[in-house]
A = this chain, B = another copy of it.
Protein backbone atom coordinates (compact mmCIF):
# COMPACT_ATOMS: atom_id res chain seq x y z
CA UNK A 1 0.00 0.00 0.00
CA UNK A 2 1.38 3.40 -0.95
CA UNK A 3 2.08 5.73 1.95
CA UNK A 4 2.04 9.50 1.94
CA UNK A 5 4.72 11.52 3.68
CA UNK A 6 2.64 11.69 6.84
CA UNK A 7 2.21 7.93 6.90
CA UNK A 8 -1.44 8.05 5.94
CA UNK A 9 -2.56 5.78 3.16
CA UNK A 10 -2.42 7.24 -0.34
CA UNK A 11 -5.30 6.78 -2.77
CA UNK A 12 -5.04 3.74 -5.03
CA UNK A 13 -7.40 4.85 -7.76
CA UNK A 14 -8.67 8.32 -8.55
CA UNK A 15 -11.19 8.49 -11.34
CA UNK A 16 -10.87 11.83 -13.13
CA UNK A 17 -14.11 11.68 -15.11
CA UNK A 18 -17.33 10.48 -13.47
CA UNK A 19 -20.63 11.85 -14.70
CA UNK A 20 -23.08 12.85 -12.01
CA UNK A 21 -26.51 13.55 -13.44
CA UNK A 22 -29.50 15.64 -12.48
CA UNK A 23 -32.15 12.95 -12.04
CA UNK A 24 -35.12 15.20 -12.77
CA UNK A 25 -35.17 18.74 -14.09
CA UNK A 26 -37.15 19.75 -11.00
CA UNK A 27 -34.11 19.07 -8.83
CA UNK A 28 -32.38 22.18 -10.09
CA UNK A 29 -35.30 24.54 -9.39
CA UNK A 30 -34.44 25.29 -5.73
CA UNK A 31 -31.10 26.66 -6.94
CA UNK A 32 -32.27 28.52 -10.04
CA UNK A 33 -33.81 32.05 -10.08
CA UNK A 34 -37.51 31.85 -10.82
CA UNK A 35 -37.11 33.94 -13.97
CA UNK A 36 -35.38 30.98 -15.62
CA UNK A 37 -37.59 28.14 -14.35
CA UNK A 38 -39.77 27.86 -17.44
CA UNK A 39 -36.81 28.14 -19.81
CA UNK A 40 -35.00 25.36 -17.94
CA UNK A 41 -38.04 23.08 -17.64
CA UNK A 42 -39.20 23.48 -21.22
CA UNK A 43 -35.85 23.91 -22.94
CA UNK A 44 -33.25 22.25 -20.72
CA UNK A 45 -29.74 23.43 -21.54
CA UNK A 46 -31.34 24.29 -24.87
CA UNK A 47 -28.26 24.45 -27.04
CA UNK A 48 -29.59 22.51 -29.99
CA UNK A 49 -29.70 18.85 -30.93
CA UNK A 50 -26.86 16.41 -31.21
CA UNK A 51 -25.99 13.26 -33.12
CA UNK A 52 -28.16 10.24 -32.56
CA UNK A 53 -26.28 7.34 -31.00
CA UNK A 54 -27.89 3.92 -31.24
CA UNK A 55 -26.40 2.97 -27.90
CA UNK A 56 -27.71 6.05 -26.13
CA UNK A 57 -25.00 7.74 -24.10
CA UNK A 58 -25.36 5.71 -20.92
CA UNK A 59 -24.76 2.13 -19.87
CA UNK A 60 -28.13 0.51 -19.40
CA UNK A 61 -26.89 -1.30 -16.28
CA UNK A 62 -26.27 2.04 -14.58
CA UNK A 63 -29.96 2.80 -14.05
CA UNK A 64 -30.31 3.23 -10.28
CA UNK A 65 -32.05 0.85 -7.87
CA UNK A 66 -35.11 3.09 -7.95
CA UNK A 67 -35.16 3.37 -11.73
CA UNK A 68 -33.39 6.72 -11.78
CA UNK A 69 -31.14 8.00 -14.55
CA UNK A 70 -27.58 6.65 -14.68
CA UNK A 71 -25.31 8.76 -12.49
CA UNK A 72 -28.19 10.47 -10.69
CA UNK A 73 -27.84 8.89 -7.21
CA UNK A 74 -24.73 9.41 -5.03
CA UNK A 75 -25.45 6.26 -3.02
CA UNK A 76 -25.96 4.03 -6.03
CA UNK A 77 -22.96 5.47 -7.85
CA UNK A 78 -20.74 4.78 -4.84
CA UNK A 79 -21.90 1.20 -4.67
CA UNK A 80 -22.04 0.54 -8.42
CA UNK A 81 -18.78 2.18 -9.34
CA UNK A 82 -16.50 3.42 -6.53
CA UNK A 83 -16.79 0.46 -4.17
CA UNK A 84 -16.79 -2.07 -6.98
CA UNK A 85 -13.42 -0.98 -8.34
CA UNK A 86 -11.76 0.36 -5.19
CA UNK A 87 -11.87 3.95 -6.39
CA UNK A 88 -10.98 6.38 -3.62
CA UNK A 89 -12.04 9.61 -5.29
CA UNK A 90 -14.27 10.48 -8.22
CA UNK A 91 -13.88 13.85 -9.89
CA UNK A 92 -17.43 14.73 -10.94
CA UNK A 93 -17.87 16.29 -14.35
CA UNK A 94 -21.63 16.63 -14.79
CA UNK A 95 -23.97 15.16 -17.35
CA UNK A 96 -25.91 16.87 -20.11
CA UNK A 97 -25.16 20.24 -18.56
CA UNK A 98 -21.70 21.34 -19.75
CA UNK A 99 -23.04 22.61 -23.04
CA UNK A 100 -24.86 25.41 -21.28
CA UNK A 101 -22.05 27.61 -22.66
CA UNK A 102 -23.48 27.07 -26.13
CA UNK A 103 -26.90 28.45 -25.36
CA UNK A 104 -27.35 31.71 -27.27
CA UNK A 105 -28.52 33.46 -24.07
CA UNK A 106 -25.59 34.11 -21.71
CA UNK A 107 -27.82 35.15 -18.80
CA UNK A 108 -29.58 31.81 -18.89
CA UNK A 109 -26.23 30.05 -19.20
CA UNK A 110 -24.83 31.88 -16.19
CA UNK A 111 -27.93 31.16 -14.08
CA UNK A 112 -27.97 27.46 -14.89
CA UNK A 113 -24.24 27.09 -14.25
CA UNK A 114 -24.64 28.70 -10.81
CA UNK A 115 -27.67 26.56 -9.99
CA UNK A 116 -25.80 23.44 -11.05
CA UNK A 117 -22.84 24.32 -8.83
CA UNK A 118 -25.05 24.87 -5.78
CA UNK A 119 -26.90 21.65 -6.49
CA UNK A 120 -23.57 19.85 -6.86
CA UNK A 121 -22.44 20.99 -3.42
CA UNK A 122 -25.72 20.10 -1.73
CA UNK A 123 -26.42 16.81 -3.48
CA UNK A 124 -23.00 15.31 -4.10
CA UNK A 125 -20.17 16.99 -2.23
CA UNK A 126 -22.04 16.82 1.06
CA UNK A 127 -22.95 13.18 0.43
CA UNK A 128 -19.44 11.76 0.55
CA UNK A 129 -15.84 12.99 0.79
CA UNK A 130 -15.07 10.64 -2.07
CA UNK A 131 -16.79 13.02 -4.46
CA UNK A 132 -14.84 16.01 -5.70
CA UNK A 133 -16.51 18.72 -7.72
CA UNK A 134 -15.77 20.71 -10.88
CA UNK A 135 -17.02 24.31 -10.94
CA UNK A 136 -19.13 24.59 -14.07
CA UNK A 137 -18.75 27.88 -15.94
CA UNK A 138 -20.47 29.39 -18.94
CA UNK A 139 -17.52 30.13 -21.20
CA UNK A 140 -19.52 32.35 -23.52
CA UNK A 141 -19.55 35.05 -20.81
CA UNK A 142 -16.02 35.00 -19.36
CA UNK A 143 -16.33 37.92 -16.89
CA UNK A 144 -19.38 36.29 -15.32
CA UNK A 145 -17.65 32.92 -15.43
CA UNK A 146 -14.79 34.47 -13.46
CA UNK A 147 -17.28 35.70 -10.84
CA UNK A 148 -18.71 32.21 -10.58
CA UNK A 149 -15.24 30.82 -9.95
CA UNK A 150 -14.76 33.42 -7.20
CA UNK A 151 -18.09 32.42 -5.68
CA UNK A 152 -17.48 28.67 -5.68
CA UNK A 153 -13.73 28.38 -5.10
CA UNK A 154 -14.23 28.64 -1.33
CA UNK A 155 -15.72 25.13 -1.34
CA UNK A 156 -12.75 22.93 -0.50
CA UNK A 157 -14.21 19.98 -2.39
CA UNK A 158 -14.29 21.88 -5.67
CA UNK A 159 -11.04 20.80 -7.30
CA UNK A 160 -11.17 22.39 -10.74
CA UNK A 161 -13.10 24.55 -13.18
CA UNK A 162 -14.88 22.78 -16.04
CA UNK A 163 -16.37 23.91 -19.33
CA UNK A 164 -17.46 22.24 -22.54
CA UNK A 165 -14.96 22.02 -25.38
CA UNK A 166 -17.53 23.02 -28.00
CA UNK A 167 -17.01 26.74 -28.54
CA UNK A 168 -17.34 29.49 -31.10
CA UNK A 169 -13.78 30.61 -30.35
CA UNK A 170 -10.52 28.88 -29.54
CA UNK A 171 -9.63 28.80 -25.86
CA UNK A 172 -6.27 30.52 -26.16
CA UNK A 173 -7.93 33.72 -27.34
CA UNK A 174 -7.88 36.67 -24.96
CA UNK A 175 -11.63 36.79 -24.48
CA UNK A 176 -11.28 33.72 -22.22
CA UNK A 177 -8.42 35.03 -20.08
CA UNK A 178 -10.66 36.30 -17.24
CA UNK A 179 -11.58 32.65 -16.63
CA UNK A 180 -7.95 31.64 -16.39
CA UNK A 181 -7.10 34.61 -14.20
CA UNK A 182 -9.78 33.63 -11.68
CA UNK A 183 -8.78 29.96 -11.78
CA UNK A 184 -5.12 30.84 -11.30
CA UNK A 185 -5.97 33.06 -8.32
CA UNK A 186 -7.42 30.01 -6.59
CA UNK A 187 -4.87 27.55 -7.92
CA UNK A 188 -7.57 25.58 -9.72
CA UNK A 189 -6.94 23.63 -12.94
CA UNK A 190 -9.24 24.39 -15.87
CA UNK A 191 -10.75 21.32 -17.51
CA UNK A 192 -12.62 20.80 -20.76
CA UNK A 193 -14.88 17.94 -21.68
CA UNK A 194 -16.04 16.96 -25.21
CA UNK A 195 -19.45 16.07 -26.58
CA UNK A 196 -20.94 19.42 -27.49
CA UNK A 197 -18.99 19.87 -30.71
CA UNK A 198 -21.29 21.26 -33.40
CA UNK A 199 -24.09 22.23 -31.03
CA UNK A 200 -25.70 25.57 -30.31
CA UNK A 201 -23.49 28.55 -31.05
CA UNK A 202 -20.40 26.38 -31.65
CA UNK A 203 -19.11 25.95 -35.19
CA UNK A 204 -19.44 22.73 -37.21
CA UNK A 205 -17.47 19.81 -35.72
CA UNK A 206 -14.85 19.79 -38.51
CA UNK A 207 -13.22 22.40 -40.77
CA UNK A 208 -15.29 20.87 -43.56
CA UNK A 209 -18.70 20.86 -41.95
CA UNK A 210 -20.75 18.25 -40.15
CA UNK A 211 -19.91 14.55 -40.03
CA UNK A 212 -22.84 12.39 -41.03
CA UNK A 213 -23.37 10.09 -38.06
CA UNK A 214 -22.61 9.69 -34.38
CA UNK A 215 -19.76 7.21 -34.99
CA UNK A 216 -18.03 9.56 -37.41
CA UNK A 217 -18.57 12.55 -35.14
CA UNK A 218 -17.24 10.66 -32.12
CA UNK A 219 -14.15 9.48 -34.02
CA UNK A 220 -13.11 13.02 -34.79
CA UNK A 221 -13.79 14.78 -31.47
CA UNK A 222 -10.10 15.00 -30.46
CA UNK A 223 -9.39 17.34 -33.37
CA UNK A 224 -11.10 20.09 -31.38
CA UNK A 225 -8.78 19.31 -28.47
CA UNK A 226 -5.79 19.66 -30.76
CA UNK A 227 -7.11 23.04 -31.88
CA UNK A 228 -7.60 24.26 -28.29
CA UNK A 229 -4.22 23.04 -27.03
CA UNK A 230 -2.54 24.64 -30.05
CA UNK A 231 -4.38 27.89 -29.38
CA UNK A 232 -3.55 27.96 -25.65
CA UNK A 233 0.14 27.54 -26.35
CA UNK A 234 0.42 29.87 -29.36
CA UNK A 235 -1.51 32.66 -27.66
CA UNK A 236 0.87 32.61 -24.71
CA UNK A 237 -1.69 31.64 -22.07
CA UNK A 238 0.93 29.67 -20.15
CA UNK A 239 3.32 32.62 -20.08
CA UNK A 240 0.54 34.86 -18.80
CA UNK A 241 -0.64 32.28 -16.22
CA UNK A 242 2.56 30.38 -15.39
CA UNK A 243 1.00 28.00 -12.88
CA UNK A 244 -2.11 27.17 -14.86
CA UNK A 245 -2.91 23.54 -15.66
CA UNK A 246 -5.37 22.69 -18.43
CA UNK A 247 -7.03 19.27 -18.25
CA UNK A 248 -8.17 17.67 -21.50
CA UNK A 249 -10.76 15.16 -20.27
CA UNK A 250 -12.03 12.26 -22.37
CA UNK A 251 -10.06 13.08 -25.48
CA UNK A 252 -7.70 10.11 -25.50
CA UNK A 253 -4.02 10.87 -25.86
CA UNK A 254 -2.38 9.28 -28.90
CA UNK A 255 -2.88 12.47 -30.91
CA UNK A 256 -0.47 14.46 -28.77
CA UNK A 257 2.95 13.37 -30.15
CA UNK A 258 2.00 14.50 -33.64
CA UNK A 259 0.76 17.86 -32.40
CA UNK A 260 3.85 18.52 -30.28
CA UNK A 261 6.23 17.65 -33.11
CA UNK A 262 4.39 19.72 -35.69
CA UNK A 263 4.16 22.69 -33.35
CA UNK A 264 7.86 22.50 -32.46
CA UNK A 265 8.92 22.24 -36.10
CA UNK A 266 6.82 25.20 -37.16
CA UNK A 267 7.86 27.22 -34.12
CA UNK A 268 11.48 26.93 -35.20
CA UNK A 269 10.60 28.50 -38.54
CA UNK A 270 7.97 31.03 -37.45
CA UNK A 271 8.75 31.97 -33.85
CA UNK A 272 9.11 35.65 -34.73
CA UNK A 273 5.31 35.77 -34.97
CA UNK A 274 4.84 34.63 -31.36
CA UNK A 275 7.58 36.53 -29.52
CA UNK A 276 5.87 36.00 -26.16
CA UNK A 277 6.83 32.33 -26.22
CA UNK A 278 10.06 31.56 -24.39
CA UNK A 279 10.44 27.87 -25.12
CA UNK A 280 9.32 25.09 -27.45
CA UNK A 281 5.55 24.49 -27.67
CA UNK A 282 6.05 20.91 -26.48
CA UNK A 283 7.65 22.20 -23.28
CA UNK A 284 4.51 24.20 -22.47
CA UNK A 285 2.38 21.19 -23.27
CA UNK A 286 4.34 18.85 -21.01
CA UNK A 287 4.17 21.29 -18.14
CA UNK A 288 0.65 22.65 -18.45
CA UNK A 289 -1.55 20.04 -20.14
CA UNK A 290 -2.99 16.95 -18.46
CA UNK A 291 -4.89 14.20 -20.25
CA UNK A 292 -7.32 11.63 -18.92
CA UNK A 293 -7.18 8.12 -20.26
CA UNK A 294 -10.69 7.24 -21.40
CA UNK A 295 -11.40 6.42 -24.20
CA UNK A 296 -7.90 4.99 -24.21
CA UNK A 297 -6.71 4.02 -27.66
CA UNK A 298 -6.40 0.28 -28.15
CA UNK A 299 -3.85 -0.60 -30.84
CA UNK A 300 -3.58 -4.27 -31.72
CA UNK A 301 0.02 -4.26 -30.57
CA UNK A 302 0.34 -3.28 -26.90
CA UNK A 303 3.87 -1.95 -27.43
CA UNK A 304 2.44 0.72 -29.70
CA UNK A 305 0.50 2.27 -26.83
CA UNK A 306 3.57 2.06 -24.61
CA UNK A 307 5.50 3.91 -27.32
CA UNK A 308 2.89 6.68 -27.26
CA UNK A 309 3.11 6.92 -23.46
CA UNK A 310 6.85 7.30 -23.84
CA UNK A 311 6.47 10.08 -26.43
CA UNK A 312 4.17 12.19 -24.28
CA UNK A 313 5.78 11.91 -20.86
CA UNK A 314 2.79 9.99 -19.52
CA UNK A 315 4.52 9.77 -16.16
CA UNK A 316 3.37 13.29 -15.49
CA UNK A 317 0.64 14.09 -17.98
CA UNK A 318 -1.88 11.26 -17.81
CA UNK A 319 -4.63 10.50 -15.27
CA UNK A 320 -6.95 7.51 -15.21
CA UNK A 321 -10.62 8.08 -15.98
CA UNK A 322 -13.52 5.69 -16.46
CA UNK A 323 -16.19 7.98 -17.94
CA UNK A 324 -18.79 6.18 -15.82
CA UNK A 325 -21.69 5.71 -16.67
CA UNK A 326 -21.19 6.28 -20.38
CA UNK A 327 -21.39 3.46 -22.91
CA UNK A 328 -17.68 3.50 -23.70
CA UNK A 329 -16.65 3.33 -20.03
CA UNK A 330 -13.13 2.00 -19.33
CA UNK A 331 -13.03 -0.64 -16.61
CA UNK A 332 -9.96 -0.03 -14.39
CA UNK A 333 -9.51 -3.77 -13.96
CA UNK A 334 -9.07 -4.16 -17.73
CA UNK A 335 -7.84 -0.88 -19.18
CA UNK A 336 -4.14 -0.05 -19.05
CA UNK A 337 -3.10 -3.48 -17.76
CA UNK A 338 -0.13 -3.74 -20.09
CA UNK A 339 1.78 -0.75 -18.80
CA UNK A 340 4.70 -1.04 -16.40
CA UNK A 341 4.09 -0.72 -12.67
CA UNK A 342 5.58 2.69 -11.78
CA UNK A 343 3.74 4.33 -14.66
CA UNK A 344 0.52 2.53 -13.73
CA UNK A 345 0.68 3.96 -10.23
CA UNK A 346 1.21 7.46 -11.52
CA UNK A 347 -1.66 7.19 -13.99
CA UNK A 348 -4.11 5.54 -11.60
CA UNK A 349 -3.52 7.88 -8.69
CA UNK A 350 -0.33 9.88 -8.23
CA UNK A 351 -0.81 12.38 -11.07
CA UNK A 352 -4.37 13.17 -9.92
CA UNK A 353 -3.24 13.31 -6.26
CA UNK A 354 -0.68 15.93 -7.19
CA UNK A 355 -3.00 17.94 -9.40
CA UNK A 356 -6.05 17.92 -7.15
CA UNK A 357 -4.30 17.81 -3.77
CA UNK A 358 -5.73 14.42 -2.76
CA UNK A 359 -2.82 12.90 -0.91
CA UNK A 360 -4.64 10.74 1.59
CA UNK A 361 -7.53 8.35 1.25
CA UNK A 362 -10.94 9.52 2.51
CA UNK A 363 -11.13 9.17 6.32
CA UNK A 364 -12.77 6.03 7.70
CA UNK A 365 -16.37 6.81 8.53
CA UNK A 366 -16.26 9.93 6.44
CA UNK A 367 -16.41 7.71 3.39
CA UNK A 368 -19.99 6.67 4.03
CA UNK A 369 -22.65 8.34 1.98
CA UNK A 370 -24.91 10.47 4.11
CA UNK A 371 -28.05 9.19 2.45
Give A residues with C-beta under 8 Å from B: 53-55, 165-173, 197-198, 202-216, 218-220, 222-224, 226-228, 230-231, 234-235, 252, 254-255, 257-259, 261-267, 269-274, 295, 297-299, 304, 307-308, 310-311, 327-328
**Complex alpha-carbon distance, A210 and B298, angstroms:** 32
Contacts of A54 in B (CB 8 A): 270, 272-273
Which residue of chain B lies nearest to A301 when distances are taken between CB atoms in the complex? B311
Contacts of A173 in B (CB 8 A): 212
Are A298 and B211 closer than 8 Å at their CB atoms?
Answer: no
**Complex alpha-carbon distance, A310 and B299, angstroms:** 12
Contacts of A263 in B (CB 8 A): 219
**Closest 7 A/B residue pairs (Cβ):** A206-B227, A254-B258, A223-B223, A261-B297, A216-B234, A207-B224, A167-B208
Specify which of B202, B255, B310 is in contact with A255 (CB 8 Å cutoff).
Answer: B255
**Chain B nearest CB, measured from A32 CB (Å):** 28
Are B257 and A209 closer than 8 Å at their CB atoms?
Answer: no
Contacts of A261 in B (CB 8 A): 254, 297-299
Which residue of chain B lies nearest to A306 when distances are taken between CB atoms in the complex? B307
A204-B203, A272-B54 given as contacts; is B258 within 8 A of A255 (CB)?
yes
Which residue of chain B lies nearest to A270 when distances are taken between CB atoms in the complex? B215
**Complex alpha-carbon distance, A216 and B234, angstroms:** 6
Contacts of A307 in B (CB 8 A): 304, 307, 311
Are B207 and A269 closer than 8 Å at their CB atoms?
Answer: no
**Complex alpha-carbon distance, A228 and B328, angstroms:** 24
Specify which of B252, B265, B299 is in contact with A297 (CB 8 Å cutoff).
Answer: B265
A222-B258, A272-B54 given as contacts; is B215 within 8 A of A209 (CB)?
no
Question: What are 17 sample pairs from A and B whose C-beta atoms fall under 8 A apart?
Answer: A167-B208, A203-B203, A206-B223, A213-B234, A214-B273, A215-B234, A216-B231, A216-B235, A218-B270, A219-B266, A222-B262, A223-B223, A258-B297, A261-B298, A262-B295, A266-B328, A307-B311
